[in-house]
Structure 1
Amino acid sequence: MEQNIVLGNKRKFVFHFLSSLFFISAISLFEIGGIYSFINDKSKIGAFIQLISIFIAFLLFWRKKYIIPFDGMMRITYIFFLVICTFTVIRGICDPLPNWNLWSYLFNPFMLYMFLIPLVVLLPTPLVNLVYVSKISKFLLPFCIFYIVTNFYELFSVQELMAMRSYDLMIIGQRSQIPSQILLPVLFFLPMTKNKVYKLAAVIVLIIATIALLLWGRRSCFVCTLLVALPFFYNMIRMHWKLSLSILGPIIIYLVAQCDLEYFVQENLEVLYERYDADTRSDTERDFYKDMDWNDWLLGRGMSGTYKSPSAAADDVANRSLIETGYLHLILKGGILLLIPYLIILINSVYKGFFQTKNKYIRLIAYYIFINILFLYPGGHTGMNLPSFMLWTSVAICQTRSIRHLTDEDMECIFKI
């Protein structure tokens, strides 16, 4: 078992697992602090929560022993990837963004941390770490419910808010994604959960969260949320097909009964109707292609790299430090030399997780990595949050031969399924 990796006396053993739990909790706390700041317009309380969580996370991370789970060429690929990440960060520090300082980099979850989060692979006992994430995820469900209740008006009064010019609809639309983002770890672990009440509550909250996404026309986030939840629904339908049919049947019949489905969507989901076939990426992508030269494509522009995107702002010299297309964002920062090893690591992990194990839970973990590969087009930005931690922990699990050889019963014992 993974516990054998930890050497030394009982005190060190206990410290190791407690530090892992607190480290993962710190990442979750950073994410919650960021959400609080986003809702309350850069609140000092949210920033303080983030600062404390950063201190805890780094203090505990550097106290650990590390293990590289990769073998052969994959070990070389991972080391090369870390070298490119380091080079990209140094370039960003040497050429910082205008009006940015140390605090700006610390509080932005997708700037510095997208290059630090791959170090999670080095943490020992990745399977046990994932168990801790499953424990923490249970606290995220009530937090998600609290968020929906306290922001109910902004989430579901779409037509009223669109009629009121005083509201920043783009910000509110982004906030509509927060419930589904909070739910991602919850959905990932639902197939490993036995508590029926918890499952039912999670499904109800998921339905509410997806309705908010549809109302605000957040297409890619909606698809990603359903893809993460797909294994749970597949398992539920397979094992409880009568119950599933009784729940889904009336919904399907109601939708079929709407003779003019397009009219139904137009009347009830106005924003989605306007956006469902809208091309919201091409303009910024064309700006990106025009502004990048061959050297930028190869090495990127560093952690603080930007590109001119007149289509995204009124000012024709506006520089953007982020592009929504995930794989282009990696190229912007570290070039193809950053993107290629990243893809190789993820694809190889999916291959090993699917085809070099008979464990259905390892395959579920590999499926999560596969979703992240697919999501590299509409998004897929990694940073200081639990889904990113889960991604790189999943990579470590799929790359560790001893874990891939565990039986389903071993996994059920570890996760207490």
Structure 2
Amino acid sequence: MEKILKPFLQTTYRERELVNLMWIGFLLYILSYTLSTTTYVNYVICQFIQIVGLVLFIPLFFNLIKFRLVNTYLQVFFSLYIIWIIFIVIRDFPSNFDQLKFMLFDAWFGGILYLSPLFILLPLKLFYLKKLFQTIFLLAIAYLIYDVFFLKDLLSQGASLTSLNIVEYFSKTLAVPAFFLLMVYTYHSNRKKFFLIIILLVTIFFALVRARRGLLFMCGLTAVFSYLLFLSQTRNKFFLVLLTIICGGILFIFGLEFFSYQKHSIFDHITDRGLEDTRSTVEICFFQDLSFKDWIIGKGMLGEYFCPGIDQDDVTGYRSTIETDYLQIILKGGLMSLSLFLLITIPAIFKGLFYSTNLLSKAAALWIIWILLNMYPSTIHTFTMPYILLWISVGICYSKNIRNIPNETLISYFKEEANSDLKQPTVNL
């Protein structure tokens, strides 16, 4: 076991410093981008900070990644996927300054999102994963701070598109990554576990206020997956299952009563929307616009489809995004892109769930499932931490050595708060 663990523990001082600076660059970029989506701040300032973040992040990122994968199957299909991504970008590369700005500064829909799959090439060393967890905690802290400053908009009951966007961008960019940490709960102190639960509850609250059904689905799925992992790691399962059924039943009945009789509740908007169909129109437009060739190879990085009358301030009738992520992938890269993506991710699920000995691998597999399930109601393929976590999770699931690390070893490593970046951590073997 010591021989297996050695490559995952060894890091140099220079390597640790580069990892720290890389994530600082990422934080500068993503926090500035999230702030810019509110429309209340100066775009020039935000984009300047984004440039600083990219200048710091990109060279360090490419310095740290290793262009090799241990699994032959993954090597073949990931190589094909990267070649196809290069094709998507090259065939529709920005031809003017505005398009170039969009590609660099829009973390959700710009060309920068095509860097996300390369995170699978980061070395799977425990120090890298620990820094990843710390970055996610910092994003969650920023989420609470942003919520305080924009509380009025978050609680708005009107039809303001800005208010809706603030809820969506804040939650999915800053809060949702913390959901993964809930799944690996045993690697955190009780104080951090409590903080993660607070993040989940706050996200649920604002999703209810603004009737964001996709976001509520994310939160509910996280709770279910976290609980399943909790059951797999604890004893007295019968008592826990029984208690959960009882508590869940009480909460469900209370919820029905609450939504039925609280006529002037802050949550009226979610009950008003109910099962309102907000997707059929754009999906019909999408199906009508794409040709057979478009279905196979997509329309490129800047590809659009004709769907007039949907967006405010729309003058051309063309949209570059569709809220269903499976269709978004097809729009840009066709069924070729979607097929390669699924050929990589689905086998990873089985490896992580059924051929692993630790919680990290199982949580990684469930995170891939979480992404695949949320790709219909939500936008996932972005240059944000949830999608980056997908590719890191794929790397974990394909790594036999990572899957075979004893869970007690990982608990010992991640819970060792006194670890210094200036020394090698001690791990109980």
Q: TM-score under structure 1 normalisation?
A: 0.86
User: Larger deviation: 210-219 or 353-362?
Assistant: 353-362
Distance 1:144 1:248 in 2: 32
Structure 2 residue corresponding to 1:100, chosen from 98, 101, 104: 98
- RMSD, matched Cα: 3.1
What amino acid maps onto 2:56 in structure 1? I
User: Residue 287 of structure 1: CA displacement?
Assistant: 0.5
In structure 1, distance between residues paired with 2:245 and 2:215: 22
Map 1:205-244; keep pairs closer than 5 Å.
Answer: 205-233=199-227
Instruction: Report how many residues are paired.
Output: 403
Question: What is the alpha-carbon distance in structure 2 between the residues aligned to residue 29 and residue 77 of structure 1?
Answer: 32
The corresponding residue for 1:187 is 179
The match for 1:373 is 372
State the SS of the aligned residue for 1:301: coil
Secondary structure of residue in 1 paired with 2:98: coil
Contact 2:156–2:163 at 8 Å: present in 1 too?
no
Q: Which residue of 1 aligns with 2:426?
A: none
CA separation of 1:153 and 1:77: change in aligned 2, threshold 3 A? same
Which residues of 2 match residues 123-202 of structure 1 at below 5 A?
123-125=122-124, 127-158=126-157, 162=158, 169-181=160-172, 182-190=174-182, 191-202=185-196
Uncovered stretches (5+) of structure 1, i.e. residues with no partner: 163-167
1:8-407 aligned within 5 A: 13-39=12-38, 40-41=40-41, 43-64=43-64, 66-69=66-69, 71-93=71-93, 96=95, 100-109=98-107, 110-125=109-124, 127-158=126-157, 162=158, 169-181=160-172, 182-190=174-182, 191-233=185-227, 253=250, 256=253, 260=257, 262-264=259-261, 267-268=264-265, 269-313=267-311, 317-407=316-406
Q: CA deviation at 1:187?
A: 2.7
CA contact (8 A) 1:37 1:45 kept: no
Runs of 4+ in structure 1 deviating by more than 3 angstroms, as ranges, are 229-262, 264-267, 313-317
- After superposition, the Cα gap between the structure-2 partners of 1:389 and 1:260, relative to the gap in structure 1 and judged at 3 Å, is closer
Determine the C-alpha separation between the residues in 2 that align with 1:141 and 1:377: 25
Please name the residue that 2:420 is paired with: none
Go from structure 1 to structure 2 and tell me whether the alpha carbon gap of 1:46 and 1:247 turns closer, same or farther (over 3 Å shift).
farther
User: How far off is 1:230 after superposition?
Assistant: 3.5
Q: Cα–Cα, structure 1 residues 15 and 265, in superposed 2: closer, same or farther, change >3 Å?
A: farther
- Provide the C-alpha distance between the structure 2 equivalents of 1:346 and 1:119, rounded to a whole number of angstroms: 14
Q: 1:21-66 deviations in whole A, cap 9, x for unaligned?
A: 3223322321111111112255322212211111111110222351
What is the deviation of 1:223? 1.1
| C-alpha distance in 1 between matches for 2:192 and 2:9 | 33
Q: Kindly state the Cα deviation for residue 73 of structure 1 after the two structures are TM-superposed.
A: 3.2
Q: Determine if contact 1:193/1:199 at 8 Å carries over to the other structure.
A: no
Counterpart Cα distance in 2 of 1:253 and 1:208: 21
Asked whether the 8 Å contact 2:37–2:165 carries over to 1, the reply is no
1:68 and 1:77 map into 2 onto residues whose CA distance is 13
The one-letter amino acid of 1:73's match is Y
Q: Distance in 2 between matches of 1:308 and 1:275?
A: 26
TM-score (norm 2): 0.84
Check the 8 A contact 2:181/2:196 in 1, yes or no: no
Kept after mapping to 2: 8 A contact 1:176/1:216:
yes
Contact kept in structure 2, 1:213 and 1:222, CA below 8 Å: yes
Distance 1:175 1:368 in 2: 24
What displacement does 1:75 show?
Answer: 1.8
What percent of counterpart residues are identical?
Answer: 24
Amino acid at match of 1:69: L
Structure 1 stretch 369-378 or stretch 39-48: which is displaced more?
Answer: 39-48
- The 3 A distance-change label for structure 1 pair 270 and 70 is farther
Alignment check: 8 A CA contact 1:65 1:124 kept: yes
* Cα distance change, pair 257–6 in 1 and its aligned pair in 2 (3 A): closer
Further displaced range: 328-337 or 121-130: 121-130
User: 8 Å contact 2:114–2:383 — kept in the other structure?
Assistant: no
The equivalent residue for 1:165 is none
User: Bigger shift: 66-75 or 326-335?
Assistant: 66-75
Q: Is the 8 A contact 1:292 1:307 kept in 2?
A: yes
The one-letter amino acid of 1:174's match is N
Task: Give the 3-state SS of the residue equivalent to 1:343 in structure 2.
Answer: helix
SS of the residue 2:64 aligns to: coil
Which region of structure 1 is more displaced relative to structure 2, 204-213 or 232-241? Answer: 232-241
- Cα deviation for residue 156 of structure 1 reads 1.9
Displacement, 1:379?
2.1
- Runs of 5+ consecutive residues of structure 2 not aligned to the other structure: 417-429
Q: Return the alpha-carbon distance in structure 2 between the equivalents of residues 106 and 258 of structure 1.
A: 44
How far apart, in 2, do the equivalents of 1:188 and 1:73 lie? 26
Question: Distance in 1 between the 2:195 and 2:7 partners?
Answer: 37
Query: Residues 100-155 of structure 1: CA distance to partner in whole angstroms, max 9, x if unpaired?
Result: 23222110113212222111111222554222111122223332221222122222
Aligned to 1:101, what secondary structure does the other structure show? helix
